[in-house]
Amino acid sequence: MPTETEQAESIDWRSESRNSPEVTRRERLVEYFEERIKKPAIVAWSDGRTRLGMLILGVYVLMAFVAVFDIYRAPSTNQAPRLVTAFQSWEHPLGTTASGVDLLSLIIHSTPDILLMVVAGALWATAIAVAVGTLAGYKGGTVDSVLMSMTDVVMAIPGLPLVVILAVTFNPENPIILGIVININYWAGLGRSLRSQVLTIREDNYVEASRTMGVSTPRILFKDVIPNLMPYVTVNFVFAARYVVFASVGLFFLGVLPFSTQNWGVTLNYAYNGGALFTWAAAHWLIFPMVAIMGLSLGLILLGQGMDRVFNPRVRTRLAGESESTAEDGDSGTTEVL
């Protein structure tokens, strides 16, 4: 018969064995948080460009929320004196148009559709390019030949005339569809560039080791290949987003896209036709939509430059280590004072 001590030890061992999976799961969660959230956040926040870019884009996201929840008056329900210049009235801080519409309300209520177009178009172009470029570069052979032949055909089609034809033919009004139409063939050049980089990465030792151990192709692509492409992908994601902004505004300004969707390009079109380019009293009608366009582009560029460092493992490890050592020094100093 086991003694009471042996029974107690047996119970303790069983309880520890039951709790060990919990400890392992907790450790995995902590490790995931450290590698995927904490260290990238430290690297991003340490760069002034990232902070400024996030601040600028945060303003546009706030404007979108204001428009969606109708916190600020809508342009259709707003009547005011005509051509009030900027900064002369708290009620109309950016002035009014020739028809008496508050210019700030026009800019704010155009922001949600602009952001949807930017995100949809950039995600479409980047996702297709990453899928085509990585698969063609890694698999090679027939897969590479077929995918690159398709890419060459798409690259041979002029982008702007194709967008104009699609816009006139289908007359899309959904901002998500508009973003995809604008970047309908933007992915081709990026996909070919990514393929050339994958051709080099697939010959590295760690990729060869994974292939030798029988690791599946999707796992190799997602764990070994794509993470090394992320700095280049991030920069081109920003370029694709900026292209959507400029192309959409230009197409709305030219009247190619339907005016039923509120857009800064529509405001610029009305301003130009209303003589804002030649009259100083109406210049604010043309200037502030252009400032909104340039501000969004600047925020995207700064965020893209800062995020480039996030995907650099050496920078991420070094800055995360510096922050931990600083925190330890602060804790030791506090202990000594106490």
Residues 66-90: tens digit of each pLDDT = 999 988 887 766 567 888 888 888 8
Q: Looking at the 3D structure of the chain, how many domains does it have? A: 1
Rounded Cα gap, residues 284 and 94, in angstroms: 7
At residue 45 the predicted structure's pLDDT band, cuts being 50, 70 and 90, is: confident
Q: What is the pLDDT of residue 322?
A: 57
Q: In the 8-state DSSP scheme, what is residue 1?
A: -
197 pLDDT more than 50: yes
Mean pLDDT of 295-300: 94
| 12: in domain | no
Crossing angle of the two packed helices 39-46 and 283-310, in degrees rounded to 10: 130
| 131: in domain | yes
Whole-model pTM: value is 0.80
State whether residue 95 is helix, strand or coil: coil
| 218: in domain | no
| 262: in domain | yes
Distance (Å) of CA 307 to CA 94, 104, 133, 167, 207? 33, 31, 21, 33, 25
| 26: in domain | no
At residue 23 the predicted structure's pLDDT band, cuts being 50, 70 and 90, is: low
State whether residue 263 is helix, strand or coil: coil
| 335: in domain | no
- Helix or strand holding residue 249 (H, E): helix 226-254
- Burial level of 29, CB count in 10 A (0-12/13-18/19+)? exposed
Rounded Cα gap, residues 214 and 135, in angstroms: 18
Q: Do 220 and 207 touch, CB atoms closer than 8 A?
A: yes
| 301: in domain | yes
Note the pLDDT tens digit of each residue in 251-272: 999 888 877 778 899 999 999 9
| 21: in domain | no
Alpha carbon of residue 268 to chain centroid: 26
Alpha carbon of residue 76 to chain centroid: 31
Rounded Cα gap, residues 195 and 138, in angstroms: 8
Q: For 162, list phi and psi in degrees, rounded to 5.
A: -65, -45
Q: What is the pLDDT of residue 34?
A: 75
Q: Which residue, 301, 272, 25, is CA-closest to 264?
A: 272
The domain in which residue 270 lies consists of 50-194+232-309
